[in-house]
Amino acid sequence: MVQKQEYLSKNQKIVLDHVEKANQPLKAYSILFNVQKKGLKAPLQVYRALDKLVEIGKIHKIESRNTFVACKNSNCVVSNATAFSICESCEKVTEINNSKLSKYLSNFEDNSGMKYSKYNLEFFGLCKKCKNK
Amino acid sequence: MVQKQEYLSKNQKIVLDHVEKANQPLKAYSILFNVQKKGLKAPLQVYRALDKLVEIGKIHKIESRNTFVACKNSNCVVSNATAFSICESCEKVTEINNSKLSKYLSNFEDNSGMKYSKYNLEFFGLCKKCKNK
DNA sequence: TAACGCATTGTTATATTATAACATTATTAT
DNA sequence: ATAATAATGTTATAATATAACAATGCGTTA
């Protein structure tokens, strides 16, 4: 299997490393605060790294929350088909990895004749823990 | 006993009216600028009206763009199941009204056992016009 | 009808999220 | 080696959104 190799720059590695270790979505300025000891001083340094990491699919942006989370799907190369479940109580976010869903959405066409190259889906509800409270 | 609001307040009417006439998503501060002649002076007045209008489903937020668009679906009461197509070139946004899609997504369950009460889906691509350029 | 509850309004200030602009350095391709 | 491209560093500022508090309007009910 041929896999595209990604060389990450110093800042990109620092940011990705931090986001991967979090296991939950992080805000850009929280990332900034936490990587300042590694030399990243300004918001732009974080945002530029995030932009690139989102572009290559290593990180996804949770649009409704303005947060960033590491991709759990190891073979996710580009971020063109994303789905998340979001608990509206504890804000826990989980990436949904469901081939039926992704097939359905990737092939979706409406009557406008527009063919979609990308989608982002966010489900909201209460997670098991919060439902039982 | 709390009664559900039947009528829109003055500010809510002004904001909804403006957004409905636009036929395209608007940014909050663009709305603010345009309703200043009607007496709304501060961002909060616009955001508060938008919050309420989104809550009751008269307006939807395009999360990936931080813009607000009037709901075209006349019988849309609450905004708990939304889907949009977004042209990445001209930024034209269309609300997708497809009963198969909404049924599929409203009934979707993943293996987490989480039942979703709400979703928002954004498709991206090139609209017909932009594809032929 | 008076008083309570609650949504809405008005206002100032501030928090949060994100990008512009420009100079410099590193990496890659030829 | 050189040119093209990507990444970095830095300061400043734009764009988006909320906090806090006082006041007003309006329906409910005691």
List the single residue in B114, B123, B127 with the smallest CB-CB distance to A125.
Answer: B114
DSSP, res B38: G
Whole-number percent of chain B with pLDDT over 70: 92
When divided into structural domains, chain A yields a total of 1
Where are the strands (E) in B4-53, listed by range? none
Q: Which of A71, A78, A57 is nearest to A25 (CA)?
A: A71
- What's the confidence (pLDDT) of residue B5? 47
Residue A30: inside a domain:
yes
Domain CATH number, residue A28: 1.10.10.10
- DSSP letters, A4-33, are ---PPPHHHHHHHHHHHHHSS-B-HHHHHH
Residue A1: inside a domain:
no
Say yes or no to pLDDT of A4 above 70. Answer: no
Nucleotide nearest to A48 (CA to C1'): D7
> Integer distance in angstroms from CA A129 to C1' D22?
40
Residue B1: inside a domain:
no
Length of chain B: 133
Cβ <8 Å between A121 and B121: yes
Q: Which of B61, B26, B82 is nearest to A121 (CA)?
A: B82
Chain A residues close to B125, C-beta within 8 Å: 114-118
- What's the confidence (pLDDT) of residue A50? 98
Chain A residues close to B122, C-beta within 8 Å: 63, 119-121
Residue A5: inside a domain:
no
Q: Per-residue pLDDT tens for A25-82?
A: 999 999 999 999 999 999 999 999 999 999 999 999 999 999 999 998 766 656 799 9
Q: What is the mean pLDDT of residues B107-114?
A: 87
Q: What is the mean pLDDT of residues B59-85?
A: 88
> Integer distance in angstroms from CA B58 to C1' C29?
54
Nucleotide nearest to B55 (CA to C1'): C7
Interface size, chain A vs chain B, as Cβ–Cβ contacts under 8 Å: 87
Residue A23: inside a domain:
yes
- What's the confidence (pLDDT) of residue A2? 35
CA distance A48 to A37: 18
Phi first, then psi, for residue A32 (nearest 5°) are -55, -50
Residue B76: inside a domain:
yes
Residue A21: inside a domain:
yes
Position A79: which residue type? S
A8 alpha-carbon distance from chain centroid = 17
HSE on the CB side for A90, CA within 13 Å? 12
Which structural domain range is residue A21 located in? Answer: 10-108+117-131
Residue B5: inside a domain:
no
